[in-house]
Structure 1
Amino acid sequence: MKKTASLLALTCLSIISFNTSAEVSANVAASSNYYWRGLTQTDDAAALSGGIDYNSDNGFYAGTWVSNVDFDDQTSYEMDFYAGFSGETQGLGYDLGYIYYAYPDAPGDSDFGELYGSLSWQWLSAKVSYLTHAQNDSSNEDDMLYLELNASFSILTDSELALHIGRSSGDTILEWTGEDDSYMDYGISVSKDGFTLGVVKTDLNTNDDIKAYVSYGVDFSL
């Protein structure tokens, strides 16, 4: 993890040094649960998270994000590093990047990374995330693909309604869930003034209940 994170940091710094027009921001949030692709990462407990982001006028961005987690192996927190390029051409938005998920206090090597790409148009966006590597202590975890479709609409007074559907597939999914090598997850949320109320659901037999969460987050410039 240290070698990959250091390389990512050096790459970001080298690009940042050639761009003087940029914005640095931070974010903090509290949530009643931390869901990732429909599955709780905190054993259905509350989560506190925060991050720092760098955005350049040329479309380059980089950042890091940290949250508590609660896994069966006693892993207690997650630290993400990401970088990419985003922009818009002829009304079509795009985003290409890489994200590295690190779990520094995990008893084994649980880190993994993904390449991702997305396209957006008006209220609709589609994204693909592909596993580049998974933890080294399990030869079964070497394949994972996530496809998602998202939509967001303005409703009522300055509120946003968001809809989500995603599909996880690959050998890694079977290793993680112990049930199947693919599953669907669904989500609906309403947000206003930093507050979000949402529900999530998967089609996994062992985790198919509809679950609700509430969160509050703030962003500010540095």
Structure 2
Amino acid sequence: MKASNKVSAFSLLICSNFAMADWSTTLTAVSDYTFNGVSQTQNDPAIQASLDKAFEGGVYAGSWASNVDFGDTDIEWDFYLGKYVELDEQWSADYGIAYYSYHGASESSDGNYPEAYAKFGYSNALGQTEFNFWYSWDYFGEGAGHVIAMVAHTVEVAPNHTLRASIDVSNSLDGDKWLWQGDEKSYYHYRLAYQTSSDKFNIEISAENTSLDFDTADERVVVSVSRTFAL
């Protein structure tokens, strides 16, 4: 199955342009769909798409989909609703709720689950630091509480050339219902990404690893190319 919260799967519009009430869609090709460092496609590529609506006042809503490979489950389709707020010149907050659904076999929907999130950003001359949190009270339909915490920092090393480093921990609050490996209730995920853009395409090359010990969660390099279209 998949791993932890939707950090690298879709970006929940953490930006400052919510004053415009517009539709947009993003198409992405990625060499491996990893979710907190664990491949959701058995180390194979994925095609992903989102449809987003930004409203006045920072409210946004959207949907995101990707191919996956969990046995007979081959589609993940997610929905989210949230709000972005600029607290002052340096601090911002982004909070909301997401719902993850799975399709392919009749039992695929057994893994559907909701998740609440809160993300805080701090920007200064040294870049932007993020403090992000996710919580599910029914992780993968197992009735288990699950929490993820992340710290990340993004810095522009040259015009149109950015580095983003992050570390996150995924932690089960109910070990009798959900364990990650053996008797371990938690694991760590480390990621370093290079980001740039060219001719309206966003490009990211990331190196990542986890503290888990299986082949879909080991060290890897992931390449993604995406483009956003205003509708």
Give unmatched runs, 5+ long, in structure 2: 1-18
Residue 144 of structure 1 deviates from its aligned partner by 0.6
Q: Which amino acid aligns with 1:152?
A: T
Q: Which residue of 1 aligns with 2:155?
A: 153
Distance 1:181 1:96, change over 3 A: same
Q: Distance in 1 between matches of 2:38 and 2:149?
A: 15
Is 1:162 the counterpart of 2:167 in the alignment? no
Is 1:38 the counterpart of 2:41 in the alignment? no
Q: Deviations over 1:181-204 (max 9, x none)?
A: 100001001011111111110011
Distance 1:99 1:172, change over 3 A: farther
SS of the residue 1:58 aligns to: helix
SS of the residue 2:103 aligns to: coil
Kept after mapping to 2: 8 A contact 1:79/1:103: yes
Residue 174 of structure 1 deviates from its aligned partner by 7.4
Q: Which amino acid aligns with 2:136?
A: L
Aligned length: 199
Kept after mapping to 1: 8 A contact 2:212/2:218: no
Distance 1:199 1:95, change over 3 A: same
Distance 1:151 1:212, change over 3 A: same
Is 1:177 the counterpart of 2:180 in the alignment? yes
Q: Which runs of 4+ in 1 moved over 4 A?
A: none
Is 1:116 the counterpart of 2:117 in the alignment? yes
Q: Distance in 1 between matches of 2:61 and 2:82?
A: 7
Residue 172 of structure 1 deviates from its aligned partner by 6.8
Q: Which residue of 2 aligns with 1:13?
A: none
Q: Which amino acid aligns with 1:127?
A: N
Give the alignment's TM-score, normalised by structure 2.
0.81
Kept after mapping to 1: 8 A contact 2:181/2:212: no
Kept after mapping to 2: 8 A contact 1:86/1:95: yes
Q: Deviations over 1:98-152 (max 9, x none)?
A: 010100224421101100001110110111100032344x4xx411100011111
Q: Distance in 2 between matches of 1:135 and 1:188?
A: 27
Identity of aligned residues (%): 26
Q: Distance in 1 between matches of 2:132 and 2:105?
A: 29
Kept after mapping to 1: 8 A contact 2:22/2:55: yes
SS of the residue 1:153 aligns to: strand
Q: Which residue of 2 aligns with 1:134?
A: 139
2:226 to 210, 214, 217: 217
Q: Which residue of 2 aligns with 1:47?
A: 46
Give the alignment's TM-score, normalised by structure 1.
0.84
Q: Which amino acid aligns with 2:151?
A: L
Q: Distance in 1 between matches of 2:100 and 2:176?
A: 16
Q: Distance in 2 between matches of 1:52 and 1:142?
A: 30
Residue 89 of structure 1 deviates from its aligned partner by 1.6
Two-structure CA RMSD over aligned residues (Å) = 2.0
Residue 21 of structure 1 deviates from its aligned partner by 5.4
Q: Quick check: which one's helix share is greater?
A: 1
Q: Distance in 2 between matches of 1:33 and 1:188?
A: 15
